[in-house]
Structure 1
């Protein structure tokens, strides 16, 4: 994983931040919460589960604050997401055909 110490990462993040600030001005010009002074920060997330942290934050973000879960929760989160993915109603492929099995 790269940090903001990486020039390309920082440039990319600054581009996103500039776009967000521009959209904020266009759509929330009357807001009592200006974001002009917001800066990029590194958030300490363990590298081994960064994808799961991203999924959980995206899924449970309410538009204002992030969910509060920690590394001790990750084992159960892995199990819950794996179960949901495997049991998803549209996840019912014809494995025999895909794997060219003659049963």
Structure 2
């Protein structure tokens, strides 16, 4: 929902980046891939427009990110994405929860 121009977001992102760099140096000091010069980049991805879809945005980006490009969906797709993912979770073969009872549904 926000860009790095937001001072609070930028401060927190910089804090995360500093922690990652510190951990990298502690655990991979002999790495041939130093990350000291890595900077924050605001990647152009679909931005959520509400306060409820952040998890679905995260899932979509994590599921389809190939290391170079981001998934292509827009806010109008979110309702269908929520429905599809919910259906997959409910119908997952190892899901033995009595979801019909929990949701008070008669099937």
| TM-score, normalisation: structure 1 | 0.68
1:87 to 72, 82, 91: 91
Alignment of 1:15-26 (within 5 A): 15-26=15-26
The alpha-carbon distance between structure 1 residues 37 and 21, as it changes in their structure 2 partners (threshold 3 A), is: same
Q: Which has the larger radius of gyration?
A: 1
| Bigger relative contact order (CA 8 A; separation at least 6) | 2
8 Å CA contact retained: 1:85, 1:91: no
Report which of the two has the higher share of helix.
Answer: 1
Counterparts of 1:40-51 in structure 2, within 5 Å, are: 40-48=40-48, 51=55
CA distance in 1, matches of 2:86, 2:16: 31
What is the rounded CA distance, in whole Å, between the counterparts of 2:85 and 2:5 in structure 1? 32
Task: Please give the TM-score of this superposition, normalised by the length of structure 2.
Answer: 0.66
After TM superposition, give the deviation of residue 91 of structure 1 in Å.
Answer: 4.0
Q: Does the CA-based 8 Å contact 1:60-1:66 persist in structure 2? A: no
The alignment status of 1:27 with 2:27, answered yes or no, reads yes
Range with greater deviation from structure 2 (35-44 or 78-87): 78-87
User: How many pairs were matched up?
Assistant: 94
Distance 1:57 1:91, change over 3 A: farther
Q: Classify the secondary structure of the residue corresponding to 1:47.
A: coil
Q: State the shift of 1:22 in Å.
A: 0.3
Unaligned runs of 5+ in 2: none
